[in-house]
Structure formats: structure tokens, C-alpha cells
Amino acid sequence: MTGPHPLVVVGDVLLDEDIEGVSTRLSPDAPAPVVDVTGDRSHPGGAGLAAALAARGGRDVVLVTALGDDEASEAVRRGLRGRVRLLEIPLDGTLPVKTRVLAGGRPVVRIDRGGGTPGEPGHAVRDALAGAHAVLVADYGRHTAGALRPLLEDAARRTPLVWDPHPDGDPPVPGARLVTPNAAEARALHPGSGETTLGAFAERGARLAERWRAAGVAVTLGERGVLLVRPGTGTPMLVPVPYRAAGDPCGAGDCFAATTTAGLADGLLPEEALQRAVAEAAAFVAAGGAGNPGLWRTGPETGPAVEPAHDAFGLAEQVRSRGGTVVATGGCFDLVHAGHVGLLESARRIGDCLIVCLNSDASVACRKGPGRPLNPAADRARVLAALGSVDAVTFFEEDTPEAVLARLRPDVWVKGGDYSVQDLPEAEVLRTWGGQAVVLPYLDGRSTTLLAHRAAEAAMRP
């Protein structure tokens, strides 16, 4: 089995800064909030974020961008070191810096400064594009793509090219496999009637695909999903979001475009790449978006983590803050059956939210032996998240969920009737914060093991 194929990201890098704080009062000289700063952080943004996300899982990623001699350019170089290979073209001016001031996790104001003009690419850029299995153009309106336009036109004739456009940027080159505007960008690039219905966005997508001579336009519509429109075809395809992700959406478009391009590099059809990208973008938002500190730990990521169907820990905190009862349960949930459904419905009625702590694939294999799990963690989480009784899903790698419970701190921990409270190893950790472990009745004769045996026996019958 071959590893992930290399790709090239071309585009405008920014330096993203977040100044975090709390606001409890207005300024005496203007109706503006006063933010008491509690911390700040910075990381590569724009094409730099897209390249870093594409490189997760050990993929070889080359980032072609314009950098200068200014402090912001140096900060971007440090942030990307060890993650991607940088191919720089000269920047006449300073790197753009985008600063958000957040109070209580919500943006209060954004300050943009800096900017310059990209120079000419060298021979190394031409060689990198020639060897790419796919190309992503992350256009942030600073015209790096314009400086490379002849090379990108040539690349689009040979390899899948995805163009993430900007209303102030350069038009996509002809032959792009996919162009990925968000809803606001699609409306700015082709206002049309001004409506925001799916039909209106399908019309915009079709017109933009014709204008750009693109093989397809995928309009990202936030919680509604992604609408794929191909020129000359009547019915667009809507790729829905697998679950509603509560979190910071900053950078979600970069995650979507990077995952789409990576899928095309590995030979997926556009429809398959888009489905994977929608799920990855939802998980990215749920994990905290571009501000998630885990994205920027020293050294490259070892692989894309399986993320929860909602932010389980944030949900637990919200419920507690309003005096509600947090209920949690856990297990493998390999083949969800009537016994599981009954247990989850009963558990949800105990409190104000139900969070499922799900054994990871490695944890299931350790507990259940060879051949298990029958379904991977992402599929098991998706089935659970679709149940009306389940509010969030999170994962644990160990044999028991004690570590994740110590973070989650539920008021009630629920298990099925084949356990006793005294036998539960997690009961002791529950007591440290006043939580209670309980056992609920369980439907007899229902288990994943029995279902697997029945399926095997049925398959052997003539």
C-alpha cells in the first residue's frame, strides 16, 4: 500500500494573530467593549494553514508563496518548519497580518495590516508543479497565484487542480478540476438574484463554472453542506454536513480545500473527495478550528485524528454552567442494536445531555480480540451521533474511560445491566467530584457478538 501522494499548495500566506481576553464593561469614552487580555497566539494563516493541514498524516507538501524579510514572514517560516517544504518567491513589501481580538472566545474586532507584491518564480517552482499529484491554489487576494499563472495553466492540463477563490483575487485558470467558493464569495463573484436558496446557489455555480471553464464548482454553504455543480448537467449534488459542529469556524475553508485536494491526489473521484472534506472540516471546527493548539504543536501531526461529533467537553461545561445534569455512557458500540438504543434512550432521560465515550479502534481490538472492531471508529461515531438520544461523542484509547471521564466530569455515568456498580473501575474516579455511577436494565439476548455469530452462520448456509 502506497503512502499519501505529494501535492503542491500555491497561494497567499498570512500571519494570523488571536488576542484573547474577557470583556465586562464598555469604554468610558466610546460605546466599545474593553477587553482585558488573558493571552495571545499566532500561527501561519491562508495558504500556510492550508498547507499545514494538507501535510497531516505525513503527506509531502510543497508550499509556494511570497515571503519577505519582515518579522511576520519570519514567524511564518518558524511556524511551518518541519511541516511543509517552502519554496519562496520574493515579496516586495511586508507579509499581511490578520489580528482578531476575542472576548469570551467571540471576535470583537479584526485588524488587517501589511501587504506587498509577489515577484517572479524560479525554476524550482516549475519543477515542483511538474511533480505534483494535485495542486491547491489558496487565493487570498494578494496575487501570488497571478505571478504563477502560466505555470498553473500548464499544471491544470496535467493534474487535478483545486482553486479556492477570493473576490479580490485572480480568476481560476481554465481546466481547474474544482473551484471552491464559499457562499459569500459565490454571491460576490456572481450576485444573480441575490437569493440564498439552493436553487440560487446552483445557478451561481453553473454560471461561474462556465465563466471559469472549470470541471466543477463546489459552493460551501456552512451547516447546509457543499453544493457541487458541473457545467452542462441539470441536477447538482448536495454533500450534507455529517453533524452540526459547534466551534470556531476560522480556517474551515482551508481545511475543506486541503482535504479535497489531498483526496484528488490519492485518486478519489471529486464526489468522494468532497464527502471526505466536508466531514474533516466539521471535525476541524468541533476541535477548535485554526486556534486549536494541537494543530501547532512542535513537529508534524502523525495523522488526522478522529474527532467527536460535537465538542463533548464544551457541551458538558455549558450544561453544567446552567445547572443541568451531564450524563455519560461508554462502550464499543460496534454494531448498534436494540439493546444499545434502549440503553441510550433511558440514559438520556436521566439528565440534560448524553455524551458517549467511545472505545477507539485499538481499544476495541485489545478488549475484543482479532477481527474487531467490525466498524471503524468514524463509522461508529457517525451512527451514534445520528441517534436523537445522543448529544455528543468523544473517544478514548485506553482499556477503561477513566482518563476521559476525569476531563469530562459527568454527574452520572451509565452502564448496561450486565455490570454492577461495584465492579466498575470508573466508579471510584466518579466519586472524586461527586459523580454517580448507575446501572440500567439491559435487553437480554442482544449483543454485537451474538449478531456477528448469527451473520456468520447465515453466510455458511447453502
Instruction: Give the CA dihedral 339, 341, 343, 347, nearest 10 degrees.
Output: 180
User: Which phi and psi (to 5°) does residue 217 adopt?
Assistant: -125, 125
Q: What's the DSSP call for residue 298?
A: S
Helix residue spans in 100-197 (DSSP H): 123-130, 144-147, 149-156, 183-189
Extract the runs of DSSP E, i.e. beta strands, from 186-345: 217-220, 226-229, 237-239, 326-331
Q: How far apart are CA 354 and CA 119, in angstroms?
A: 55
Q: Give, rounded to a whole angstrom, the gap between the first and last alpha carbons of the chain.
A: 35
Residue 32 CB partners (closer than 8 Å, separation 6+):
26
Q: How far apart are CA 318 and CA 442, in angstroms?
A: 30
Q: How far apart are CA 154 and CA 157, in angstroms?
A: 5
Residues assigned a catalytic role: 254
Instruction: Give the CA dihedral 286, 288, 290, 291, nearest 10 degrees.
Output: 180
Burial class (CB in 10 A: 0-12, 13-18, 19+), 284: buried
Q: How far apart are CA 152 and CA 161, in angstroms?
A: 8
Give the DSSP per-residue string, 406-426: HHH--SEEEEETTS-GGG-TT
